[in-house]
Structure 1
Amino acid sequence: MITYWPGQQGTQLNQQVSCLFKKIYIKLNYNLYNKTSQILSIDIVDAHIKKELFKVILLELEILILDIIELDVTVSDLELLNKRILVDLINKSLSNFQQILNIEISSEQISASSKSMFYKRLILEHRLLLQNLLVYLIFGSFDDGTKTYIFPDNKIPIQHVEILLDNLIIQVADLIFYLIINADGSMIDLFYFLKVNKICRNTYASARSIATFKNNLVWNNYLCYYFQQPRIIYNNRYQVWIFSTKGLHCQYIYAYREDDLEFLEGLQVLIIVLLELQDFILPKIQSIFVLIGRVWIYIFRYAITNSFKIILKSIAIVMRSK
């Protein structure tokens, strides 16, 4: 039986939010390793450190929700401030995480890393990542006027809100550690930083393995930013990460993303154009090949049939002559 998210503010919504956060905290005791073929920056992190980072983000999100309620922010205000709220959530979570690990990363290094493709890719999806979730958690499902997700009569399944919360925690954690990894100058500095602070997993025991991981991470983010993200937006899909008992998994859900097309740039736009050309040209090429195939089959059958008739006639003539 499908249970739906409360439609408006009240005791029922507060209880549902409380139960949802308790459930997420329980999920942090699951296997937290990535079980997909995609690379996450937190893949290099020890499970204990990863769990602490998730807790920090959850705590900051709870504080953020209480602040929004106290300030009496409306849904319209939330739409205007959402990007700034997301950046603030990332910065505060990063700052608290540094205090827990007793490490220090300068604001200049973080500022330089924030210009990366990964950071821009996440900020581009700020509405899908945070805005809709905040609306559900604070105002209920009836105040979601974006129509990003197609559900009948604003009946939002509780599992959908849970997926969005899982996704926010995992993606913000992934971005935070991406900023940490890329804040150090040289690879040797990064190696000592990870080893001295006992952050990374035992499988990354050498500078070479860490360098390989970082290079693969950069290459993966390049592919995601320029090739995967435009295709996903064009197909009205959104990739979400979820917690499961077996580890971290990702899946795709439907999301209306036509408005995101105008924020694409350069090679991303070219990929969209190529996809449109593919949709226009490929069916016609397939039709031509099907037609050519049918013609060849007809010619081949005609040739075989006539050849067989000629052979039979020749045999008949030979038999009569004898």
Structure 2
Amino acid sequence: MSKKMIVKYWPNRQSISLNNAVVDLFIETEKKLPLKTDNQSHQYLYLDILNNITRTKLLQSILNEFKELILDMIEINLYPKMLIKITKKIVAIFIDRVSSNFFFKFKFNDTISDNSALKYHHNKLTDCLLTYLIFGSSYIEDDIFLFETSYTPYNHVKVLLENFIIQIGNIIIKELMCNLNNSLNINKFLKKQNICNKLYTSNRSIILFLNNLKWQNLVQSYVYEIKSFYDERQKVSVISSEGIITKYIYLSKNKKIQSLNQIKIIFLFWLELKDLLIPKTEKFFIQIAKYCLYCSINLFSNLILVLIRIIVFYLNK
């Protein structure tokens, strides 16, 4: 008889239980990072250009800096609503700090520009992660996720943390390559510091890598992002036993529709229309196909009967 799984829930409010849960979460994540950080997500990441050792060190550096950030935020004693208002600035400053500290040993201190706050792609998951870690699950808005806030699974917060670490690492390497400006400088810098993935050691391979990323980002922005918005789900990156993989979690996006541009709204309308018409169209064609198949079988059966009668007639004759 199989044992019943016990679901571990995230603490609701600030308490010793919340502090212990945060410590446990950081320890678990810290243990996972050195195991495997290969990209198995079937999509390109800017992190792919780094070798395994450097990629792992960067993600570990992000986790360590994030620990300090959470401690600083707890000491400031902010209100939950104030935290949400300044999250974007907090994360932009955090990206600057991680980048400066990590690339200092490579004598490359200007990886992130001063306007990184404008470039940082803010999302609801970051707000939720900080709220979970600092205040507990009871301060999360209702109806954002599928479960009740008081019954937030521990693993859900773990997924948000892993996704945050990977996305921040991706942003840092993206900014690094933007500041290096071109494939020749990127190739030269990565080779000089001995941090390059062996798959991208040539200038040609780096150009192809960057072009693939640009195309992927374009498709992501105008196709998959709208599809995810329509399906009310969010793509997240997590660390598994195979490496970095992609999963989807439910995320209500009703309030985000005002931020969509005209092209995205048209695509969203097309998805609505598709879901309305395609089932009816499919049903119509299935009925037509069934009717045609029925007629064909009857016609074929009648032809066989006629042939048999003709054969019998000539044999009797």
Same fold (TM over 0.5): yes
1:203/1:303 CA distance change after superposition, 3 Å: closer
Offset of 1:52 from its aligned partner? 2.4
SS at match of 1:241: strand
* Distance in 2 separating the partners of 1:70 and 1:135: 14
- Offset from partner CA, 1:118-164 (integer Å, 9 cap, x none): x5xx32xx211x11111111111122124311214621111111111
Q: Verify the 8 A CA contact 1:239 1:250 in the aligned structure 2.
A: yes
Q: Which of residues 205, 209, 212 in structure 2 aligns to 1:216?
A: 212
Alignment of 1:73 onto 2:69: no
Q: State the partner residue of 1:23.
A: 28
Q: State the partner residue of 2:108.
A: 103
Q: State the partner residue of 1:282.
A: 278
Bigger shift: residues 155-164 or 89-98:
89-98
Q: Which of residues 57, 61, 65 in structure 2 aligns to 1:60?
A: 65
* Distance in 1 separating the partners of 2:118 and 2:251: 26
The residue type equivalent to 2:124 in the other structure is R
Q: Which of residues 121, 146, 167 in structure 1 aligns to 2:163?
A: 167
* Distance in 1 separating the partners of 2:39 and 2:301: 60
* Distance in 2 separating the partners of 1:23 and 1:100: 27
Q: State the partner residue of 2:269.
A: 273
State the Cα RMSD in Å.
2.3
Aligned residues: 312
Bigger shift: residues 164-173 or 143-152:
143-152
Identity %: 30
Q: Verify the 8 A CA contact 1:113 1:183 in the aligned structure 2.
A: no
* Distance in 1 separating the partners of 2:92 and 2:116: 15
Offset of 1:86 from its aligned partner? 2.4
Bigger shift: residues 253-262 or 305-314:
305-314
Q: Which of residues 193, 197, 205 in structure 1 aligns to 2:193?
A: 197
1:216/1:153 CA distance change after superposition, 3 Å: closer
* Distance in 1 separating the partners of 2:103 and 2:181: 18
Q: State the partner residue of 2:3.
A: none
* Distance in 1 separating the partners of 2:105 and 2:245: 27
Q: State the partner residue of 1:44.
A: 49
1:153/1:91 CA distance change after superposition, 3 Å: closer
Offset of 1:296 from its aligned partner? 0.8
The residue type equivalent to 1:71 in the other structure is I
Alignment of 1:246 onto 2:242: yes
Q: Verify the 8 A CA contact 2:234 2:249 in the aligned structure 1.
A: yes
Q: Verify the 8 A CA contact 1:7 1:140 in the aligned structure 2.
A: yes
Alignment of 1:86 onto 2:83: no
The residue type equivalent to 1:222 in the other structure is L
Offset of 1:314 from its aligned partner? 4.2
The residue type equivalent to 1:75 in the other structure is P
1:8/1:300 CA distance change after superposition, 3 Å: same
SS at match of 1:203: helix
* Distance in 1 separating the partners of 2:36 and 2:111: 32
Alignment of 1:127 onto 2:132: no
1:267/1:127 CA distance change after superposition, 3 Å: same
Alignment of 1:257 onto 2:253: yes
Q: Verify the 8 A CA contact 2:138 2:150 in the aligned structure 1.
A: yes
Offset of 1:11 from its aligned partner? 0.8
**Gaps (5+ residues) in structure 2?**
1-5
Offset of 1:79 from its aligned partner? 2.3
* Distance in 2 separating the partners of 1:29 and 1:112: 28
Q: Verify the 8 A CA contact 1:82 1:127 in the aligned structure 2.
A: no
Offset of 1:165 from its aligned partner? 0.5
The residue type equivalent to 2:213 in the other structure is L
* Distance in 2 separating the partners of 1:245 and 1:305: 58
* Distance in 2 separating the partners of 1:138 and 1:314: 89
Alignment of 1:11 onto 2:2: no
* Distance in 2 separating the partners of 1:223 and 1:67: 38
* Distance in 2 separating the partners of 1:21 and 1:84: 23
1:168/1:106 CA distance change after superposition, 3 Å: closer
The residue type equivalent to 1:150 in the other structure is L
Q: Provide TM-score, normalisation by structure 1.
A: 0.88
Bigger shift: residues 10-19 or 308-317:
308-317
Q: Verify the 8 A CA contact 2:234 2:251 in the aligned structure 1.
A: yes
* Distance in 1 separating the partners of 2:301 and 2:60: 76
1:223/1:114 CA distance change after superposition, 3 Å: farther
1:144/1:113 CA distance change after superposition, 3 Å: closer
SS at match of 2:179: coil
Q: Verify the 8 A CA contact 2:132 2:140 in the aligned structure 1.
A: yes
Q: Provide TM-score, normalisation by structure 2.
A: 0.90
Bigger shift: residues 47-56 or 173-182:
47-56
